[in-house]
Amino acid sequence: MPFAHIRGTGSAVPERVLDNAELEKIVDTTDEWITRRTGIKQRRIAMGDNNESTAALGTRAARGAMEMAGIAADQIDTIIMATITADRIFPSAACMVQKELEAFNAAAYDISAGCSGFLYALESGNNSIKSGMSRTCLIIGAERLSAIVNWEDRGTCVLLGDGAGAVILRRQDEPGGLLSTHIKSDGRLWDLLYSDKGNAPAPESLAGLVGIPFHLKMEGNRLFKQAVPCMASIAEKALEQNGLSREDIQLVIPHQANLRILQAVSEKLKIPMEKFFTNLQHYGNTSAASIPLAMDEAHRQGRIKSGDCVLLVSFGAGLTWGAAVLKWTL
Ligand code: UT7
C-alpha cells in the first residue's frame, strides 16, 4: 500500500492588516474584549486592487508548496481546494487555480466543509493516492471570509480573516506521511453557522466593507460548546487508531478559531498548550485556510522536524470536524 507524504507547504495572506484598534472604529468592540475572549490581535483583509481573490491567494500558496516540493505544474494529477468562499458559485475555485498554474493534466474540484475543509480535502487526496488514482495531489485551503461577513455584527466580524495555505501530497512507498484521517459531520446543527447569500465583490478600501450584503450567521456560544468535545474526541480516536499516546505527538496544528477553545481542547486531551501551534493572533479564523497556513508557518519556522508526529484537528460549519495524524518527512 503506498503512502501519501507531504513534500511541500505554502501559504499566502493579503497585504492589508486590520488590527483590533482599527476594528474599534467599525463596530462597537474593544481590543481588550477581542483579546480576552479570542486571543486574536489582527487579521488580513483581501483588497480588490491587490488581486487577492480566493483563487489568487490559493494560487500563491500552491506555488510556494510546489516550489518546496520541486513539483512542476504538469506533474499534478489532482487539485482539491477547500473553501466556502470560492470567487463564483461555479465554476470551482480549484479550476481557476488550475488555469493560473497551467496544471492541465489535473482534475480539479472544490470541497465545502467549513473550517474542516482542509482535512476533508486531505482525506480525499490521501484516498486518491492510496487507490492508485493519483501520484501527486495539490491540496489547498483558501478563504476570503471578509466577503461574507456582516461588518456591523461585532459577534462575528472580529473573528474572521482572509488567507490561504497549500500542501503537495505525493505517493511514496516508504511508510510515513499521512498515517490516518478521520472526518465527521452533524447536519442537524447546520444552522449554527451558515450563509444565506452569494459573495460580495472585494472592495477597493476598508470603507467599502460596511455596505456589503452580509450573510454569515453564527451562534458562537453554542458552537464553542460543540467544538471542544468534538475536537477532543476525534483527536483521541485518531491517536488510538495509530497506537500513539499523547506524549508521541510533537506538535498539534489545530483549526485557529479561538484560543480559549484550544486551551479547553488542550486540557481535555492532556496535551500541553506549548505543543499547540497558534497563529490566530495574526490572522484570526481563516476557516479552511487556517490549518495549512499554520502548517506552512510551523514548518518554515522550524517547529516541525522530520520524524515528528503531528496531529491536525478541526471543527467548523456543517457541523464538521476532523483529525489527521502525520509522520513528518519533509
Ligand atoms: O471556526 C469554527 C466555528 N466557530 C467557532 O467555533 C467559534 C466558537 N465560538 C467562539 O469562539 C465564542 O463563542 C465567541 C468568541 C464567538 C464569543 O465569545 P463568548 O465568550 O461565547 O461570548 P458571547 O457570545 O456569550 O457574548 C458575551 C457578551 C455579550 O454581551 P452580553 O449579552 O453578555 O451583554 C455579547 O454581546 O459579549 C458581547 N460581545 C462583544 N463585546 C464586545 C460579543 N461580541 C463582542 C465584541 N466586542 N466583538
Q: Indicate if ligand 1 lies below 6 Å from the C-beta of 319.
A: no
* pLDDT for 301 beyond 70: yes
Residue 258 Cα to ligand 1 middle (Å): 10
Average pLDDT in the 59-72 region? Answer: 98
Nearest residue to 287 via CA among 146, 143, 105: 143
pLDDT at 326: 97
Q: How far does the centroid of ligand 1 lie from the alpha carbon of residue 155, in Å?
A: 5
For ligand 1, say whether the CB of 223 is within 6 Å of any of its atoms: yes
- Report d(CA 153, CA 49) in Å as an integer: 26
Chain centroid to CA 26: how far? 26
- Rounded Cα distance, 42 and 34, in Å: 10
Q: Which of 46-50, 108-112, 164-168, 220-224 has the lowest mean pLDDT?
A: 46-50
Please count the other Cβ atoms lying within 10 Å of the Cβ belonging to residue 144. Answer: 33
CA of 319 to the centre of ligand 1 (A): 18
The C-alpha cell of 294 is what? 499554520
Residue 275 has pLDDT above 90, yes or no: yes
Give the residue whose CA is nearest to atom 22 of ligand 1: 221
Probe target for ligand 1 pocket from 19, 37, 224, with the most ligand atoms within 8 Å of CB: 37
Q: Name the class of domain 1-330.
A: alpha beta
158 lines ligand 1 (CB under 6 A): yes
Residue 214 has what pLDDT?
64
The neighbouring-strand residues paired with 164 are 12, 142
